[in-house]
Amino acid sequence: MTHRGLLMATSTAFAMLALALGARSLDAQAPGFKRVELQRHDIGATGREAVMVRAEFQPGAVTPRHTHPGEEVAYVLQGELTIELEGKPAAKLKTGDSFFVPASTAHMGKNTAKGETIVISTYIVEKGKPLATTVK
């Protein structure tokens, strides 16, 4: 490989790394919010996977408006959460409530409890895409 070819290959590799790191930053955790992956498995639908997470919201924590590359099915295990789905009025959920977020629907959540709120979510999403992408 020539010096020029090596330089181009190295530049391409760095550009791809920067792009990958940039995609992750869109999935960065908001202050007071933590998403813990519990399990991830391929499913019968080609190119899709199921991802189960535990979302932990400290008092007052808010997730920025974001979307997922697939559906989210969620259950409030503890606390209270106000969720705002694009095109719908805000919904205040409490322990034992569940909710559904359609694919690519912008939404946000806020802990409205005095203590920690915990949500268990299962995502049926496209493989290889960030689990969450921040939107304006």
Higher per-residue confidence, 26 vs 81: 81
Amino acid at 70: G
Buried b (16+ CB within 10 A) or exposed e, 18-47: eeeeeeeeeeeebeebebeeeeeeeeeeee
pTM for this entry: 0.78
Average pLDDT, the chain: 85
Q: Where are the domains of the chain?
A: 30-134
* CB-CB contact of 119 with 72 (8 Å): no
Taking only the tens place, the pLDDT of each residue in 57-107 is 999 999 999 999 999 999 999 999 999 999 999 999 999 999 999 999 999
What is the four-CA torsion angle of 87, 52, 80, 60, rounded to 10 degrees?
A: -90
Which listed CATH number (3.40.50.150, 2.10.77.10, 2.60.120.10, 3.30.565.10) goes with 30-134?
A: 2.60.120.10
